[in-house]
Structure 1
């Protein structure tokens, strides 16, 4: 059995693990990273963010072709199978894996393949795919093992028509009808994707509104456009049973309703990947969802063991995970770049997409903050009229006395890109983070960024 010694050992090669490993290596630490899969990138690259967003992009192109009258001269509307559309995602995945593998090699980070489990606070054992065993000694460990779909034991996910948000990427056909249980971010994104492929979707939501953490107006807009694209949204419904047969799946709800479809997709919750780490050997106890508690420096209850990414819960975003990994590493090497990641923009890749940062109207109202609203509707922007992407809006929330920007909410094409302009201004100090910036700045015309000027002027007109 081979044994190796390191300063820092990172468990998990997704965004969080990569951020931690790269930062530690650049500070001269001897670093190793352990990845259970055969390739780096984590669930973000192989099962989550990258494939679903690449899939969404392809579907959006199909929708554009099928709805733009200019293309009717070329031919009639075309529909593509789900497996064929997935091929574009696979090309992106391979490029991402190659790029990220190069990062580790360039920064002299040793990559170990296999399952890691703790022997004690300073040693982990790796069981490789060929049953080879290795032990790594380290002063510090970073747990970045990510998460997986929560799978209730009373649903038979071995049935060939019952899927979760990981296994759906192995779907070998295009169902005519689909039930999605769970209307969170992942469920809403897949509802958009399948509806765009012409599938009739039932989106079953255990809650009373879609994505309740969003600004109410944005949530309402998403509900409208999902329904407008043929998605049937069912709120306040809990499942009683899910039964698959050779013809499809029957979902029985606690309300007594029964829904039949060709396939079923479970998108209701995720669990941290901690069950195989032998955490009892170091005295760590995950919560019921497999997540680890951390302090303001990303330390667990064991001082030399840190945790970052989905394995600590909120916000469970690839963007935040990478920054959490870098920050945990900054705490380890004690550099000047440490920050606790709590200012995270929301990016939701439905069709159309959604992005927001800062407070919502409901939060400001409850806090009795005297705010005002500035709006720009995409249908009125020349760039949106040119591209044919007229659905959506940008909403600025600002203090009506100081004009400080308090929240930015965007719904529509390129929302996840547009929001960062406002985010940059919100993070300025003093009078630089006010509505005046957008009023006194010249934006290129025609652009989507011009929405900030339009929204700012709209908001200014509301102040008396």
Structure 2
């Protein structure tokens, strides 16, 4: 039996950050993962593969130059499916190598196998060695569960991992279909639908709700939707699949609840994921997962109801971002060993790596209105920047919300080229309490897309009351009718 201060189940973003943080606190650390190599869902089937595929498609198709040169060049990508798979494989191996080196440098031990709780301090690890299965017991003072999620696979979907796939299977051996149906307009569904659309694959997106990506500003989603429609994507909101069957060629045929039928060569079912907590022995430690396999934690400490058991990452649900998962893992390790934890910023950015990108931080217009803020919006179109002209951009916007009384920045929302990078300027200003004066008075590199911040600020300023330089932005209160009469 091996004993450690800290054992982490899972080596995704939350697990790796927690393990290294604990090691830096001079604790003995073990990471257990049931995959053949470290990295978790993020490296093997999630974040890294999907973003690598996106970048590869944009490069092979010449997507960024299409609008500038008014041409289509998907034949090159169609004939280079092998190149896409090769790049996916190279990126995966690179990520695994980097992570293994990080663990080695920090003296973090790893163990390949499936872990199950025996009690709150003991894990049984089932290892497959050659032609036999071995078990090993591991004890720890504190344990962190970062097992991630797996695709939701309902019984009515005839998955065969060739023509009907989930988001894990689609990158396992990438093929480019002649047509694609995507069920589920969440982040994963939207990303893959738009990536294949960039390959000029006819895509039909099906979503039972009347809207999608509801946490994103509606004006940004409206702009995004129009871009998808302009390039021929079929978006069917408010429709659910009544049945999915395979025809004689093993191609999926979807019958919708409104009677319409959607036929395609391939179907991606991306309507949700569930926590991979089925077989880790939660019953042995009196922990219960919800109907989607997710664990409940104290958001300030990442502790579960069992005080020495922590959980972080996608297994605890929203926001399920690699970036936030890393911070959750760090918080768990710091709290577990009484290390100081800096207060997390109130706002953090979301990045959706669709084609085009979407990124957002702070309050959306709808949220700001619900919170009772009196505000003004400024919008910059990326084509209005000189850099946008050089790049041939015809679409994309940057939207900023400013509180009317103080001029403080309330939120930033972007759709278009570089949105996930541009958002960090807004993140810094927002979390440092800055406002419209920062964008108006500071100089940005020229030509850059970042100039869109100044354009958006000036756009908002033009609708706000003028103030003397250096003063807080304030609107003068209108005089009452009685005063007007007296005057």
Classify the TM-score, shorter chain: over 0.9
Deviations 1:315-339 (A, max 9, x none): 0111111111011111112222354
Count of residues in Structure 1 that have an aligned counterpart in Structure 2: 458
1:48-447 to structure 2, matched below 5 A, reads 48-61=46-59, 62-64=61-63, 67=66, 78-81=76-79, 82-130=81-129, 131-158=133-160, 160-247=162-249, 248-295=251-298, 296-339=300-343, 343-429=347-433, 433-447=434-448
1:450 corresponds to: 451
In the superposition, relative to structure 1, how do residues 155 and 70 fare at CA in structure 2: closer, same or farther (>3 Å)?
closer
| SS of corresponding position for 1:240 | strand
Give the CA deviation at 1:84: 3.5
| SS of corresponding position for 1:425 | helix
Give the CA deviation at 1:86: 3.0
Verify the 8 A CA contact 1:143 1:305 in the aligned structure 2: yes
2:476 corresponds to: none
Q: Distance in 1 between matches of 2:73 and 2:197?
A: 22
Give the CA deviation at 1:139: 0.4
Give the CA deviation at 1:69: 6.1
Q: Distance in 2 between matches of 1:227 and 1:76?
A: 19
Q: Distance in 1 between matches of 2:342 and 2:144?
A: 15
Give the CA deviation at 1:226: 1.2
Q: Distance in 2 between matches of 1:301 and 1:366?
A: 33
Of 25, 28, 31 in structure 2, the residue corresponding to residue 30 of structure 1 is 28
In the superposition, relative to structure 1, how do residues 112 and 77 fare at CA in structure 2: closer, same or farther (>3 Å)?
closer
Give the CA deviation at 1:207: 1.1
Deviations 1:131-175 (A, max 9, x none): 121111100000000001111122121363110011011345321
* Bigger Cα displacement from structure 2, 147-156 vs 18-27: 147-156
Q: Distance in 1 between matches of 2:172 and 2:360?
A: 31
Deviations 1:298-323 (A, max 9, x none): 10010000000000000011111111
Q: Distance in 1 between matches of 2:174 and 2:42?
A: 21
Q: Distance in 1 between matches of 2:304 and 2:347?
A: 21
Q: Distance in 2 between matches of 1:190 and 1:69?
A: 24
Q: Distance in 2 between matches of 1:203 and 1:331?
A: 43
Verify the 8 A CA contact 2:68 2:391 in the aligned structure 1: no
Q: Distance in 1 between matches of 2:26 and 2:277?
A: 29
Report which of the two structures shows the higher radius of gyration computed on alpha carbons.
2
* TM-score normalised per structure 1: 0.95
- List gaps (5 residues or longer) in structure 2: 466-487
Give the alignment's Cα RMSD to 1 decimal. 1.9
In the superposition, relative to structure 1, how do residues 179 and 77 fare at CA in structure 2: closer, same or farther (>3 Å)?
closer
Q: Distance in 1 between matches of 2:73 and 2:180?
A: 28
* Bigger Cα displacement from structure 2, 359-368 vs 17-26: 359-368
Deviations 1:56-113 (A, max 9, x none): 11211214377266598x9996342545323222211111110001011111111000
- List gaps (5 residues or longer) in structure 1: none
Verify the 8 A CA contact 1:181 1:265 in the aligned structure 2: yes
Q: Distance in 1 between matches of 2:173 and 2:244?
A: 18
Q: Distance in 2 between matches of 1:435 and 1:20?
A: 37
| SS of corresponding position for 1:129 | strand
Deviations 1:424-456 (A, max 9, x none): 011114xxx111111111111111111111111
Give the CA deviation at 1:225: 1.1
* TM-score normalised per structure 2: 0.91
